[in-house]
Structure 1
């Protein structure tokens, strides 16, 4: 949904984007309050990430999972095709959303909850 609007911005050089973001928002995009991928991911509890393979944040989810695994975190990435961002909110409409909730419940049970 956002890709058509943001695609031209993403073609700009990364340093220029970082400077503009810092000027607009008063903080660096690398600030851990904005993007936890820049923080230490050691000593996290077992973590479940669910994402649509078709959303623009998919690569961010993959990057986060890779960094967390490298830090020794037990992390699971689950992905679904052709789903919108936060597809789980459509639990009554999308069978995939219902399945995602079932997967999250199974994950929590496996962790002793």
Structure 2
């Protein structure tokens, strides 16, 4: 993990980057993780998980769970930890949370997902209805990434999983994404399971627009909303401002 330290921090933020399970690194996501860490007075850690095609499922998922368990061992309590991820990173976070709950590992204080890719079978309607307006993703690109990640293995479908007991969750997705339905279905499933869930669909936005915050006002606004969510949840958990 790459560590970004905030002075006198009592909170920790674990960031899991996207890239279709195939590309990306901790170094490449220091900016977005650092912005969130500064706004939430957290020490940020960005996971450098193993990538495909050299390392197929479940290597990346295991790395994220291992990183979270190691961070949990360093912290005073899970309520001071936020998990944040984008795209395929959102998938890895959800899979890690479900496994952590099964293993009896204490869950984090909250979760924030940016444009999460959750359905590797690509069954959402927006996969087809948003093709004309999605400037980044195509069904073909997603299928190639899913095939490289899973190879011939079958993963438990996150959108069909029991999410009961998971921590408060914020989901941000762009209106113009072919992954729009992944976010909407996750929010519906989580809400039905009693999870405190906030879904934000941003008009006109594209896949992981938050990463363009240095040059895009909507990116800065989205990160500010995520910061407010984390502070609200972790602040309540830690008694900040009482």
The reply to whether TM is greater than 0.5 is yes
Q: How many residues align?
A: 93
TM-score of the aligned structures, taking structure 2 as reference length: 0.36
Looking at secondary structure, tell me which structure has more strand per residue.
2
Q: Confirm or deny: 8 A CA contact 2:175 2:206 kept in the other structure.
A: no
SS of 1:84 mapped into structure 2 = coil
Structure 1 segments of 4 or more deviating over 2 A? none
Instruction: Tell me the equivalent position of 1:44.
Output: 166
Instruction: Tell me the equivalent position of 1:15.
Output: none
**Cα deviation, residue 57, structure 1:** 0.6
Q: Which residues of structure 2 form unaligned runs of 5+?
A: 1-135, 141-146, 236-242
**Cα deviation, residue 66, structure 1:** 0.3
TM-score of the aligned structures, taking structure 1 as reference length: 0.73
The C-alpha deviation readout for 1:58-100, integer Å capped at 9, x for no partner, is: 0110001001101110010012122221110001111001000
Looking at secondary structure, tell me which structure has more helix per residue.
1
**Cα deviation, residue 112, structure 1:** 2.6
Match of 1:90 among 212, 218, 226: 212
Q: In 1, distance between residues paired with 2:179 and 2:213?
A: 21
1:64 is the counterpart of 2:186: yes
Q: Which residues of structure 1 form unaligned runs of 5+?
A: 7-20
Q: In 2, distance between residues paired with 1:58 and 1:45?
A: 22
The C-alpha deviation readout for 1:15-49, integer Å capped at 9, x for no partner, is: xxxxxx6xx72123xx23xx422322110100000
Instruction: Tell me the equivalent position of 2:153.
Output: 27
Q: In 2, distance between residues paired with 1:81 and 1:27?
A: 36
Instruction: Tell me the equivalent position of 1:102.
Output: 224
